């Protein structure tokens, strides 16, 4: 009888956190809906008028899903169970589409559920996701340091140095983790440390680093398509801020937080509020369209599973 009680007690915080995420998502979705209603139909007319831009952003978003699945596969544990690249891409696209439209109903662990169904253990999903987040943040910090020097905001030198130092420190910690056992760390920190112990090859790091310019390409296509005055270096900086924000924001799809970031960047780039909101809508709908298309295509192709 003691084992079921322990399982229930351990699961209670997880369920509580899941319910909190759902409540926050619903609250933000309601506030965004009220905001859009008050803003009127102009943003939606702008989205419809810029359908070629939407297609361009959707195409790059689909390429990003392929790249994300490939990079995820390179850091999977070498235990004999490694879903194929296309199967992982299908899971990435399907979970992205579900999380975009129905996180309240299906939960926020859709991708982990699909990965377990594909043959991975839950432990492998957790450890690989931790490595994925770590490597993504590494590359984002290093790209951000370079882009800050190119954009030249106030205090660019100090900001770039801080970002570069943080990125190099993360690389050093990861390399140390591959060579050192952390037996004296608390259990929770030890599990996190152990997730970094698997060595990461140059090909894997390159795939993770490529995600930044690919994400920047989606932003560049969207912003320039709606008339914003930005360069690719600005798009790279926005992509790195998005990645860093996604690491700390636990709301599904970063709803509200990322949208506010996109609107702020668009208004700074010369767009009106209505056009900036239209851009955020375009980015969301383009991603959803790409996710649905890729998931549907790979679901009907033979030998994907």
pLDDT digits (tens, 9 = 90+) for 283-305: 999 999 999 999 999 888 765 44
Percent of the chain residues past pLDDT 70, beyond the cut = 80
Q: How many other C-beta atoms can be found within 10 angstroms of the C-beta atom of residue 172?
A: 10
What tokens appear for 120 in the block?
């991975």
Mean pLDDT of 125-133: 81
130-173 residue pLDDT tens: 888 888 899 999 999 999 999 988 888 999 999 999 999 988 88
Tell me the average pLDDT of the chain. 82
Handedness of CA 230, 151, 261, 15 (dihedral sign): positive
Least confident of 25-39, 106-120, 262-276: 106-120
Contact 57, 221 (CB under 8 A): yes
Instruction: Report whether pLDDT(113) > 60.
Output: yes
Rg (CA), the chain: 20
Residue 6's pLDDT is 39
């Amino acid at each position: 009888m003691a084992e079921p009680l322990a399982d229930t007690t351990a699961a209670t915080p997880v369920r509580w956190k899941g319910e909190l995420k759902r409540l926050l998502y619903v609250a933000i979705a309601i506030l965004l809906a009220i905001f859009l209603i008050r803003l009127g139909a102009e943003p939606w007319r702008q989205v419809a008028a810029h359908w070629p831009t939407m297609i361009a952003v959707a195409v790059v978003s689909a390429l990003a899903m392929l790249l994300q699945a490939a990079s995820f596969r390179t850091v999977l544990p070498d235990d004999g169970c490694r879903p194929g690249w296309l199967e992982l891409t299908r899971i990435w696209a399907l979970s992205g589409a579900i999380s975009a439209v129905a996180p309240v109903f299906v939960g926020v662990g859709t991708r982990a559920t699909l990965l377990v169904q594909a043959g991975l253990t839950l432990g492998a999903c957790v450890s690989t996701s931790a490595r994925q987040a770590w490597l993504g943040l590494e590359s984002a910090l290093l790209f951000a340091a370079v882009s800050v020097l190119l954009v030249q905001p106030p205090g660019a030198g100090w900001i770039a140095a801080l970002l570069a130092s943080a990125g190099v420190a993360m690389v050093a910690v990861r390399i140390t983790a591959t060579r050192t056992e952390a037996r004296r760390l608390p259990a929770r920190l030890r599990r996190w440390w152990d997730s970094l112990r698997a060595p990461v090859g140059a090909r894997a790091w390159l795939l993770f680093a490529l995600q930044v310019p690919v994400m920047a390409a989606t932003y560049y296509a969207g912003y320039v398509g709606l008339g914003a005055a930005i360069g690719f270096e600005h798009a790279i900086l926005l992509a790195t801020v998005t990645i860093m924000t996604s690491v700390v924001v636990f709301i599904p799809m970063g709803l509200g937080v990322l949208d506010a970031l996109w609107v702020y960047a668009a208004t700074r780039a010369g767009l009106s509020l209505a056009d900036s909101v239209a851009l955020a809508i375009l980015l969301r709908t383009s991603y959803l369209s790409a996710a649905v298309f890729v998931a549907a295509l790979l679901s009907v192709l033979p030998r994907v599973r």
